[in-house]
């Protein structure tokens, strides 16, 4: 029998069958003079991360396995996987077991092939919504479009998306867009066909702005955009917009490396709310809430329920 397991989330059936949400907007009971804690309508661990962690734990029960890359950007879940005996490798050369697990972020086909050719038993936890982005990009390339990915160039999901391509562009900031425009500037429309997808965890508003910016900079180009931002990311961002309207401070529970948690924090700040990202209740500071009547609470797609509940409990006791 392995070590005790962290309960990830209790919404598994509803999330898979219904709206994509890790949590619901349950309100905390309160006295009149208490600071109120208000939950976002959608928050916390998504089905893609949860399924990947479940698969990793099942595999560790069955025998030695190495996880290639970060399975999940949450320190509590990583600690749980370490305790269960899962090995970790950041390169193919570091894989020390026959069984290897690919993460929810996905990977290039050529890397899968390399692993199989090396005799590895490949278990694939790629999220279906990441696979959808891969398929969309492949189709655009097959249809003759030059591939453009909106996202962070160094993020593992983006590396996987472009990993089988000879030529592509990754764009996120204005310097990237300048380079893209320079590359195709002056060419006629029939020579410039851009096929755009996005990293699944980018804010959809920002993605749409970038697509419009590309259209503005290259008016002669044929630009085809396939929206590959995943629904759980959209749900959490949309719910945060609604939450921020009526709250004085926003707390985002998520590991420091969690891209979508960081984006939630940035979104709350862009809406004019003080916002703090914490990976556990131990990082909360009383002074953040000195003038707060209502605190909004949300969490990224890699944050398990017990960590969110711990933060919520701390806030309710304040």
Active-site annotation, residues: 157
Q: Do residues 100 and 122 make contact, with C-beta atoms less than 8 angstroms apart? A: yes
Query: Given the complex with ligand SF4, which of 36 and 259 has the nearer CB atom?
Result: 259
- Which residues contact ligand SF4 by CB under 6 A? 46, 48-49, 104, 127, 129-130, 200-201, 230, 232-233, 260, 301
Cβ of residue 184: shortest distance to ligand SF4, in angstroms?
29
Query: Given the complex with ligand SF4, which of 66 and 198 has the nearer CB atom?
Result: 198
**CA distance linking residue 206 with residue 148, whole number of Å:** 15
What is the distance in angstroms between the CA of the first residue and the CA of the last residue of the chain? 38
Cβ of residue 85: shortest distance to ligand SF4, in angstroms?
23
Query: Given the complex with ligand SF4, which of 97 and 231 has the nearer CB atom?
Result: 231
Cβ of residue 75: shortest distance to ligand SF4, in angstroms?
18
Angle at which helix 204-217 crosses helix 174-184, to 10 degrees, equals 30
Cβ of residue 288: shortest distance to ligand SF4, in angstroms?
27
Query: Given the complex with ligand SF4, which of 201 and 265 has the nearer CB atom?
Result: 201
Query: Given the complex with ligand SF4, which of 80 and 201 has the nearer CB atom?
Result: 201
* Sign of the Cα pseudo-torsion (261, 266, 272, 278, in order): positive
Cβ of residue 167: shortest distance to ligand SF4, in angstroms?
25
Q: List, in order, residues 6 or more apart from 197 with CB less than 8 Å away.
A: 133, 136, 137, 140, 147, 148, 149, 150, 161, 225, 226, 228
Cβ of residue 305: shortest distance to ligand SF4, in angstroms?
15
Query: Given the complex with ligand SF4, which of 18 and 119 has the nearer CB atom?
Result: 18
Find the residue with minimal CB distance to ligand SF4: 48
Query: Given the complex with ligand SF4, which of 147 and 232 has the nearer CB atom?
Result: 232
């Amino acid at each position: 029998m392995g070590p005790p397991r962290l309960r990830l989330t209790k919404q598994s059936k509803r999330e898979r069958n219904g709206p994509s949400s890790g949590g619901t907007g349950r309100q905390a009971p309160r006295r009149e003079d208490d600071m109120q804690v208000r939950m976002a309508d959608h928050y916390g661990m998504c089905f893609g991360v949860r399924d990947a962690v479940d698969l990793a734990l099942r595999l560790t029960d069955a025998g030695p396995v190495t996880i290639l890359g970060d399975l999940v950007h949450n320190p509590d879940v990583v600690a749980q996987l370490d305790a269960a005996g899962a090995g970790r490798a950041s390169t193919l050369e570091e894989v020390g077991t026959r069984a290897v697990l690919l993460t929810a972020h996905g990977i290039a086909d050529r890397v899968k092939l390399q692993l199989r050719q090396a005799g590895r038993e490949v278990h694939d936890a790629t999220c279906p919504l990441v696979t959808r982005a891969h398929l969309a990009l492949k189709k655009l390339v097959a249809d003759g479009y030059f591939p453009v990915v909106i996202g962070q160039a160094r993020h593992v999901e983006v590396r996987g998306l472009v990993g089988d391509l000879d030529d592509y562009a990754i764009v996120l900031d204005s310097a990237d867009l300048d380079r893209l425009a320079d590359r195709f500037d002056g060419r006629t429309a029939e020579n410039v066909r851009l096929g755009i997808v996005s990293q699944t965890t980018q804010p959809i508003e920002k993605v749409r702005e970038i697509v419009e910016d590309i259209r503005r900079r290259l008016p002669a180009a044929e630009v085809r955009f396939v929206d590959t931002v995943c629904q759980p990311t959209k749900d959490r961002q949309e719910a945060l917009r609604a939450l921020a309207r009526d709250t004085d401070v926003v707390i985002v529970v998520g590991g420091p490396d969690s891209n979508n948690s960081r984006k939630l924090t940035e979104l709350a700040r862009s809406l004019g709310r003080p916002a703090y990202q914490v990976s556990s209740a131990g990082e909360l500071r009383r002074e953040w809430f000195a003038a707060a009547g209502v605190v909004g609470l949300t969490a990224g797609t890699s944050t398990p329920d017990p960590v969110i509940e711990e933060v919520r409990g701390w806030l309710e006791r304040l």
